Amino acid sequence: MDSIINEIILKDQELFIYLNNLGNPTWDGFWMFITNKFSAIPFYLILLFLICKKFNLKILLITLLCIALGIAFSDQLSNLFKNHLFLRLRPCYEESVYPYIRLVKDTCGGKYGYFSAHAGNNFMIATFLSLVFRNKIKYLSMFLFTWAILVAYSRIYIGVHYPLDVLTGAIIGSIIGYLIFILWNYLNTRFKLKSPVSYGFNK
């Protein structure tokens, strides 16, 4: 079992070095913009406006509460994985990897990196809002997941996370987003704010 895990880690490191070294200074500014957590604020303000248009004030408040709860859960779970359960070093702290990477940021962040909170949070939001707005806003789901994928890849590009870090974050974030949607649907039906919807991506 240990040999299989070591082989997975080795392949993950090799893939990281390959993807990270595809970058060049011409694109560094773009990916630094994508990876900045404040870059999405205008986008999320637009989503907030759409929520206000599609739902009443009570549903809006429940939606915001669910998003905050989902982000908090994703963040705390990421911290648990990073600092207590797995303790996997980020690439810049791994002596066998660091000489071969492009570290775009001035700093690498915390010592441990499994899994990526950036990926977890963005895939949580993408999954949750895709379900909330399904069949209401055309192409929104595609845009949300495109943004989430770009943010996840940016963590590899700038040199702070392995591919497995962001893949795990994407999976866990999507699961959390789906569970938060179930909670959102329950709260809205519990308080008779809207009719229940099915728990899938399509009606």
Q: What is the mean pLDDT of residues 122-129?
A: 96
Q: What is the mean pLDDT of residues 58-63?
A: 87
pLDDT tier, 107 (very low <50, low <70, confident <90, very high otherwise): confident
pLDDT at 202: 40
Provide the H-helix boundaries in the chain. 2-20, 25-35, 41-54, 57-80, 117-132, 140-157, 163-190
pLDDT at 3: 84
Choose among 151, 155, 161: nearest CA to 126.
151
Dist CA 94 CA 139 (whole Å): 40
Output the CA angle 100-154-126, nearest 5 degrees.
Answer: 150
Pair of tokens at residue 4: 């299989």
Dist CA 90 CA 94 (whole Å): 6
Q: What is the mean pLDDT of residues 170-188?
A: 96
Pair of tokens at residue 113: 């990196």
Output the CA angle 147-151-157, nearest 5 degrees.
Answer: 135
Dist CA 32 CA 105 (whole Å): 8
Residue 139, SS3? coil
Choose among 76, 49, 78, 46: nearest CA to 147.
46
What are the pLDDT digits (tens) for 83-104?
Answer: 999 999 999 999 999 999 999 9
Choose among 67, 13, 36, 17: nearest CA to 154.
36
- Global pTM reads 0.90
Dist CA 41 CA 144 (whole Å): 13
